[in-house]
Structure 1
Amino acid sequence: MFGTLNNYLSGVQRAWSVQDGDTVAGFVSLKDKHIMNRNLYLLEPENYVERQLDPPIDEVVVAHLKVLYYLNSESRDYMEAYKNQVQCIQSVVKMLQQLKEENWCLPIMYTTCLDLRVLAQRCELNCKVSQPGEILEKAAESLMSCFRVCAADNRSSDEDTKRLGMLNLVNQLFKVYFRINKLHLCKPLIRAIDSSAFKDSFPLAEQITYKYFVGRKAMFDSDCKSADEFLSFAFQKCPRKFYKNKRLILIYLAPVKMLLGYMPKNQVLEKYDVMQFHELSNAIKEGNVRKFDEAIQKHESFFIKCGIYLLVEKLKFMVYRNLFKKVYLIKGTHQLDLESFRSALTFVGENDMSMDETHCIVANLIFEGKIKGYISHSHNKLVVSKQNPFPALNTVS
């Protein structure tokens, strides 16, 4: 396709003149098949491009052709390719500003911004950087320049507003911020989308991606109910054919559900190959601390890799709660000697548990609403409510 440079440029000009944003986006995409054409690898394509293309698309294409040159040079210079992709984004910003009354050009922005993020990631892997994440963070600044232009479009027309491009950019920025572990930078973006009049008008695929990241952000903020709401939306709306995406969502949704007292079904865990949570679920139901610790240890690398190790560790208090409920049922009294709890903990493998530590566990369970009662320190007893002393976990606020 596009055997000569002239043919390629003619194709770009035709698509540009009829305002075919999707086709133009393909011509400047690093995923399109035209990138295999050696005739397009030019270090100085300005003279050729400016003769055939109208501004402002000419500057975008010039930068794109330079990116192809550096990516396909013998040394494969990712850093120079990245720098020219930054220049490409700057030209896209000019394009957005010049086409004030139109948004058909948004696909061009989507494509070039995606390529910038991917190139930044390649630079992080293949180039020497003074600090990890430095290039990605600078790439995010370029993405923000596009976001500001879109957010500043105050026209009331739903069809032509550039604000419809905000969510795509927010999702790109989320991917950067999560990768460099700067989640606090997500807050203003979330506010911008939540206050947008178009938040329900964005494409479903973009909404799913957005809910996934906002759900993860809520999870790290210990807001399990919000995390459950967002991640459940993403999991339910994500089409079945995207198995990997649904599995990824479930990896975060499962522990959130468990913290809220809902144990995942075995068939769902098996379907998406996340049986690590099945062992944890069984240990929680049984109140088996030893079994829980063994499951954590066995799948430690998986939990750490997914970034949910600390979240999963919080489930241990649910194990304690179910163990103590068994003690309560065995004793059959509302005044329980705390020594009985310490003995139960010792029985299930917590051999070094002191009485002070036992007090602390019980106090935390009371504070979290997992036990209704109070500690009588003078008698070293836990006095539980006569009505529903161990509320169902999915009712605990």
Structure 2
Amino acid sequence: MTGSLTEYIKCVKQSVEQRDTLKFKWCITINPGIEEGAARSKYPEPNDFDLYPLPERVQDVVRSYLKLTKSVYINNNIEQSFADLDEMVNKLNRFAETQTNWVNLALINACTELISVHSVLKDSTSKQETKRASNGESTDGSSLEKLASTINKSFKLSLNDKNLDISQSKRRDIYIFLGYLIKIYFKLGKLELASSVEKALHGTRFELPVIGPQMTSKRHVITYLYYSAILALDRSDFKAAEEKLSQAMTLVSCYKKPKNVTKQIEKILLVLFPLRLLNKGVFPSRDAWENVPNLRFLYLDNLFAAIKEGDLKKYTDSLEKFKTILLKNHIYILFIHLKSLCCLRIIKKAVVIVSEINSIDKPHIIPLSALQIALTFSDTRAHDNSSSIGYDLDRVECVLANLISSGRMKGYISHSNKCVVLSKTNAFPKLFANGY
């Protein structure tokens, strides 16, 4: 415990000179212990003589930190605490520019505390900014935008470290700052900024940490991979999205206590299950649903069930029923694409029936009118006394053309003869990979 301002400054000086990352972190945390924090809050404001033993940029950090302790422990003012902590992290970023990655732990901890303080502040800040705006006062941007700006500086500081030795470079912890930053941009709804930081990451010419089970910052890497997959979804790059989420699941599986990451697993699988179905035609195994009962109801009992059954009406109804959830998680468009698999299932059933009827003649030549009846019946059968034709022949041809071009059907459409000519050997090479 540091009993006086002089002893505290001496402790800071030793931690910097010795590059003692744990001690330096303890010297500038808002939670050094209740008694220690209270004691530091009562230190007098340091003058230039008091701070003379410290490097100039560390002096700025200490000034900001001691001001912060008063906001936290004496004034108990959450808004001022956030402002002071934000100032301190920016001062710490400036100091870290001249240091190797020994300073990373303190910087990461400061950013983590800043995000935690913001989570407490956000509701009251929103009300206060609304009130100020109604009074014609400038709010100087939201607290979340300030948070994004500060974390972005820490990210750039890490990314732009030119030290070629990754073990000594601040790039070693790049995914921690990136995970924080990309999540904040999503909260702000600024996906273009999230895309830009990812491009900056891929554009660097310096070595980056290899993503794998050996990493110590798995939680932050998982966060980055998840949001990176969402960005890929928005670009309709479904293969890249699946690869990112598969990587994330590999890292999640490394946790010794899976129950502690149940929510993260559910969030990942919410997107990964339909991606695997679209990309590979693979339905989740029965064991996969045990720890995700919410997904069981959403997918197994509704959307996936409709695809397996070839029930367009059920699929459309489920899509509308869960539209808010799907939109919120950026997967609504993904399920628009998956509708083709539901159509594929219906067409396969119709082809079997027509082939049995035309077994003597040419079972691989299917009239478009037969598929029109099948698709329309599936889409409208729940409507009593419905006589509407939901699929005209042009729409049927469009569905078939998409399935053929994607490789899920083999054959060609004869527009003049109003039929589809299927492959005699393997008309449906990519129905579903696990037997459905």
Q: TM over 0.5: same fold? A: yes
**Conservation of the 8 A alpha-carbon contact between 2:410 and 2:429:** yes
**Conservation of the 8 A alpha-carbon contact between 2:414 and 2:421:** yes
Distance 2:103 2:124 in 1: 32
Flag the 1:328–1:142 CA change in 2: closer, same or farther, 3 A: same
Distance 1:16 1:172 in 2: 26
The answer on 1:28 being equivalent to 2:65 is no
**Conservation of the 8 A alpha-carbon contact between 2:176 and 2:221:** no
Larger Rg: 2
The answer on 1:329 being equivalent to 2:359 is no
Q: Secondary structure at the match of 1:215?
A: helix
Q: Secondary structure at the match of 1:320?
A: helix
The answer on 1:369 being equivalent to 2:407 is yes
Flag the 1:357–1:13 CA change in 2: closer, same or farther, 3 A: same
- Partner amino acid, structure 2, of 1:154: K
Aligned pair count reads 392
- Partner amino acid, structure 1, of 2:104: L
Q: Which deviates more from structure 2 when the two are superposed, residues 106-115 or residues 285-294?
A: 285-294
The answer on 1:231 being equivalent to 2:245 is yes
- Partner amino acid, structure 1, of 2:330: G
Report the counterpart of residue 136 of structure 2 in structure 1. none
Report the counterpart of residue 103 of structure 1 in structure 2. 101
Flag the 1:302–1:191 CA change in 2: closer, same or farther, 3 A: closer
Q: Which deviates more from structure 2 when the two are superposed, residues 268-277 or residues 298-307?
A: 298-307
Report the counterpart of residue 278 of structure 1 in structure 2. 300
Q: TM-score with structure 1 length normalisation?
A: 0.83
Give the alignment partner of residue 193 of structure 2, picking from 157, 163, 185: 185
**Conservation of the 8 A alpha-carbon contact between 2:414 and 2:420:** yes
Give the alignment partner of residue 357 of structure 1, picking from 382, 389, 395: 395
Distance 1:5 1:237 in 2: 44
Aligned ranges for residues 164-243 of structure 1 at < 5 Å? Answer: 164-194=172-202, 195=204, 196-200=206-210, 203=216, 205=218, 206-238=220-252, 239=255, 241=257, 242-243=261-262
- Partner amino acid, structure 2, of 1:110: I
Flag the 1:247–1:25 CA change in 2: closer, same or farther, 3 A: farther
Distance 2:311 2:256 in 1: 35
- Partner amino acid, structure 2, of 1:256: L
Q: By how many angstroms is 1:298 displaced?
A: 4.4
Report the counterpart of residue 91 of structure 2 in structure 1. 91
- Structure 1: give runs of 5+ residues left out of the alignment: none
Q: Secondary structure at the match of 1:383?
A: strand
Give the alignment partner of residue 386 of structure 1, picking from 415, 424, 432: 424
- Structure 2: give runs of 5+ residues left out of the alignment: 134-138, 356-362, 381-385
**Conservation of the 8 A alpha-carbon contact between 1:240 and 1:246:** no
Give the alignment partner of residue 265 of structure 2, picking from 234, 243, 246: 246
The answer on 1:151 being equivalent to 2:164 is no
Q: By how many angstroms is 1:157 displaced?
A: 2.7
- Partner amino acid, structure 2, of 1:230: K
Flag the 1:136–1:387 CA change in 2: closer, same or farther, 3 A: farther
The answer on 1:306 being equivalent to 2:329 is yes
Flag the 1:27–1:307 CA change in 2: closer, same or farther, 3 A: farther
Distance 1:156 1:362 in 2: 54
Q: Which deviates more from structure 2 when the two are superposed, residues 256-265 or residues 369-378?
A: 369-378
The answer on 1:290 being equivalent to 2:313 is yes
Question: Residues 199-218 of structure 1: CA distance to partner in whole angstroms, max 9, x if unpaired?
Answer: 31764514433323322222
- Partner amino acid, structure 2, of 1:197: E
Distance 1:27 1:336 in 2: 77
**Conservation of the 8 A alpha-carbon contact between 1:2 and 1:34:** no
Distance 1:312 1:264 in 2: 16
Q: Which deviates more from structure 2 when the two are superposed, residues 318-327 or residues 4-13?
A: 4-13
Q: By how many angstroms is 1:189 displaced?
A: 3.2
Flag the 1:29–1:95 CA change in 2: closer, same or farther, 3 A: same
Flag the 1:266–1:52 CA change in 2: closer, same or farther, 3 A: farther
Distance 2:43 2:6 in 1: 16
Flag the 1:43–1:204 CA change in 2: closer, same or farther, 3 A: closer
Report the counterpart of residue 137 of structure 1 in structure 2. 145
Report the counterpart of residue 66 of structure 1 in structure 2. 67
- Partner amino acid, structure 2, of 1:18: Q
Q: Which deviates more from structure 2 when the two are superposed, residues 349-358 or residues 27-36?
A: 27-36
The answer on 1:255 being equivalent to 2:251 is no
Q: By how many angstroms is 1:172 displaced?
A: 1.5
Q: By how many angstroms is 1:292 displaced?
A: 2.3
Q: By how many angstroms is 1:72 displaced?
A: 6.0
Q: TM-score with structure 2 length normalisation?
A: 0.77
Q: By how many angstroms is 1:253 displaced?
A: 1.2
**Conservation of the 8 A alpha-carbon contact between 2:233 and 2:330:** no
Flag the 1:304–1:149 CA change in 2: closer, same or farther, 3 A: closer
Q: Secondary structure at the match of 2:421?
A: strand
